[in-house]
Structure 1
């Protein structure tokens, strides 16, 4: 399938590096044209690239697979950035005027610029979420046009270590893949996952990833809090490997049989035989043992999620509850466990996003693990497609007329070459003329000889067949 207009996006997760090419339709839906992924545990840890060469190789492979599917070239990509060092830091910038002034857009922009210029040790500001502006004793979401002699702007600065962005950019440079824009992964995830009503009423979006858990708090349609902790669903997988099971099989067991609330274990005790699971090496383990391991670790992870909500200071202002996304959200009954531990708080698993998604057969994207990737497509604005280059037939290159200008030796050589060409042409013409004259002489000789022989023939005939002699 060939297309000339699509958005290409890359998400660098701790368990997999995923790429997508999608088209945004007029009705707001997204048509997925291509999807590719590579395991990333060997070069990404807790959302941060630590092996640039391996990351570049994986990027090249993913892009090649996408290009083969769309039958076109990918000129640039949108990239999601996150990781364990990213977090929100509140900052306030104030300005006082000598007299009452109408707040202008220029003044608001100057306050924002001053906020972005704030230095952080070994950190940089990736984005800033403006909060309310305080003018006098009143708070305004949009202060332009309001009269006052003092303004204070509050910002939630999203900061992270410079290494996070540097290693990411080095990976794309090594892969020779231009970046259209670097977008904050938690923000695009929220935009594609949360409803306007949830953002306004107050909610906690928890992205339950492999190595990190990102908590974003919204209230009044504004991002109020963001933090990332270095824990994730891969810790459950590692606990399962304590049963002498390799990582891949442990992950499969978690997804296929795992249960955050294994209530059936009490019933199993009453049965004569417990449910057994066969392993690849021929051994068997009980389902109850597997889920005891899963339950213990999952409870610890949920406790940490809820603790971040408590630390945000917005615990009592989340009327829309908790929305869970990320690969870890696919664990059976994880929402019920959170509901119980949060004393009945509303919990929703974001199995889908705010827009309709049409994907190719066999590509499953409604599993919580791809919401950020789809969010990047929805946020992209520039066409990422480049037409395949047309390979032209090689043409013999003529020597430029000016190549000998200003060089005496080259001019002399040029004169020799031209003189040799002229002499060769004169010799050719002379030889052709000589050959023509030679042919003409031969032709004249043959004609004369024929005429001579013709006259002699007549005389001989007359002599031989003379009537007198016959008599």
Structure 2
């Protein structure tokens, strides 16, 4: 069995996180052994979009150098966990006639169907966007629902409904260019909520139906699962910084104090507890309204047995799970990284339990499960302008 190293990076609005993992191929898709981590404060981004290029480059290099110092490993390429306001999802459907004379469905039929599915997307929806993932939600063969992969079955007409996850092309281009300016090649791009779900959600939760809600500094992302398959993704332009700002304004204190109070780093004994709770609840209720609005749009409001799982820096707000249960009428909990045999996600120097690291861990996990040759297949050929088309086999219905 050959071991090799994969690296992942998450360029957030508040923090940049980098990780490197030792993977094993072939195998049973084991959790990779994390060799080390690096982090740096993030400046120069707004809601995941680059606004000060030089500042972002400096911070990326700082995080990478921190990782290299901790591990002694030179980082030459990374997989990028892409997030921010530019992420979104939409559906498309298509049908095709099975090509073989004996009516057996082949991979050729599946690929032809997915291409047709993409062609059926209205041009205005794809304007300025790049497709990251194409995930089959439902197959039908001769109008009958197929549970799983239809390859090998027999029928005349094959239909599919796919979930497409896309990102604003300009936002992604700028991040990849910045990484390359730092002397590092981007070999793959994965939507951040999808990467985090591989680490934070159990298969049981994804089968029953759940929503993973990441409350970042300036955005809130929601990815919904059912039957072990993602069925929607949406990002809202609000986040943990808005809670901090509300506390600072309401209590007439500095942003630094407000942030410490929000995350429990300082006691609020010298401030009116009732007023503080009202400030936090008002902002969280706005966020919950957005989440519930999305669930209503996809007909899942109050209908997710595994409930809502919160992650990201904003999920550290005390009592967020209790408030969510009240507002969303669903089970709710704060996520934790699915632990390895040692009980936590460990590196040579630090122990990582913070779910905010999940996107990095997730892309490392994906990177450790493909060979170097496959990595080249999924390479983001930025200069050639090719569209990223990664089908995640873990999410086949």
Provide the TM-score with structure 2 as the length reference. Answer: 0.82
- Hey, which of these two has a bigger chunk of helix by percent? 1
**Alpha-carbon shift at residue 364 of structure 1 (Å):** 5.1
Matched, 1:347 2:339: no
Contact 1:330 1:368 in 2 (8 A): no
**Alpha-carbon shift at residue 74 of structure 1 (Å):** 1.3
2:117 maps to which residue? Answer: 115
Match of 2:40 among 26, 32, 38: 38
Task: Work out which of the two has the higher radius of gyration on C-alpha atoms and give 1 or 2.
Answer: 1
Instruction: Find the residue that maps to 1:55 and give its secondary structure.
Output: helix
User: Where in structure 2 are there 5+ consecutive unaligned residues?
Assistant: 373-397
Instruction: Find the residue that maps to 2:355 and give its secondary structure.
Output: coil
2:197 maps to which residue? Answer: 190
1:7 maps to which residue? Answer: 6
Matched, 1:124 2:124: no
2:256 maps to which residue? Answer: 248
1:324-363 map, 5 Å: 324-343=310-329, 345-353=330-338, 355-356=340-341, 357-360=344-347, 363=350
Deviations 1:20-76 (A, max 9, x none): 223347894554433222222x31211222222211111111111111111231121
| Distance of aligned partners of 1:361 and 1:102 in 2 relative to their CA distance in 1, 3 Å threshold | closer
Matched, 1:102 2:104: yes
1:379 maps to which residue? Answer: 366
1:157 maps to which residue? Answer: 164
Once the two structures are overlaid, the 10-residue window that deviates more, 286-295 or 369-378, is: 286-295
**Alpha-carbon shift at residue 224 of structure 1 (Å):** 0.9
| Distance of aligned partners of 1:336 and 1:86 in 2 relative to their CA distance in 1, 3 Å threshold | same
Cα distance in structure 1, aligned partners of 2:348 and 2:113:
50
Once the two structures are overlaid, the 10-residue window that deviates more, 21-30 or 56-65, is: 21-30
Instruction: Find the residue that maps to 1:145 and give its secondary structure.
Output: coil
1:215-364 map, 5 Å: 215-242=222-249, 243-256=251-264, 276-277=269-270, 285-315=271-301, 317-343=303-329, 345-353=330-338, 355-356=340-341, 357-360=344-347, 363=350
Match of 1:171 among 178, 184, 196: 178
| Distance of aligned partners of 1:294 and 1:257 in 2 relative to their CA distance in 1, 3 Å threshold | farther
Cα distance in structure 2, aligned partners of 1:362 and 1:147:
55
User: Where in structure 1 are there 5+ consecutive unaligned residues?
Assistant: 260-274, 278-284, 385-471
Instruction: Find the residue that maps to 1:377 and give its secondary structure.
Output: helix
Cα distance in structure 2, aligned partners of 1:291 and 1:314:
29
Contact 1:131 1:222 in 2 (8 A): yes
| Distance of aligned partners of 1:110 and 1:239 in 2 relative to their CA distance in 1, 3 Å threshold | same
Instruction: Find the residue that maps to 2:261 and give its secondary structure.
Output: helix
Cα distance in structure 2, aligned partners of 1:370 and 1:97:
44
CA RMSD of aligned residues (A): 2.7
Matched, 1:17 2:16: yes
Instruction: Find the residue that maps to 2:91 and give its secondary structure.
Output: strand
Deviations 1:260-306 (A, max 9, x none): xxxxxxxxxxxxxxx743xxxxxxx4344333322221222222222
1:366 maps to which residue? Answer: 353
Provide the TM-score with structure 1 as the length reference. Answer: 0.70
Match of 1:134 among 137, 140, 145: 140
1:452-467 map, 5 Å: none
1:435 maps to which residue? Answer: none
| Distance of aligned partners of 1:295 and 1:361 in 2 relative to their CA distance in 1, 3 Å threshold | farther
Deviations 1:101-148 (A, max 9, x none): 222211111111333455412222111111111222201132222222
User: Which has the bigger relative contact order, CA under 8 A and spacing at least 6?
Assistant: 2
| Distance of aligned partners of 1:248 and 1:36 in 2 relative to their CA distance in 1, 3 Å threshold | farther
Contact 1:78 1:376 in 2 (8 A): yes
Deviations 1:285-334 (A, max 9, x none): 43443333222212222222222222222235422222222211111110
| Distance of aligned partners of 1:149 and 1:72 in 2 relative to their CA distance in 1, 3 Å threshold | closer
**Alpha-carbon shift at residue 168 of structure 1 (Å):** 1.0
Cα distance in structure 1, aligned partners of 2:315 and 2:351:
15
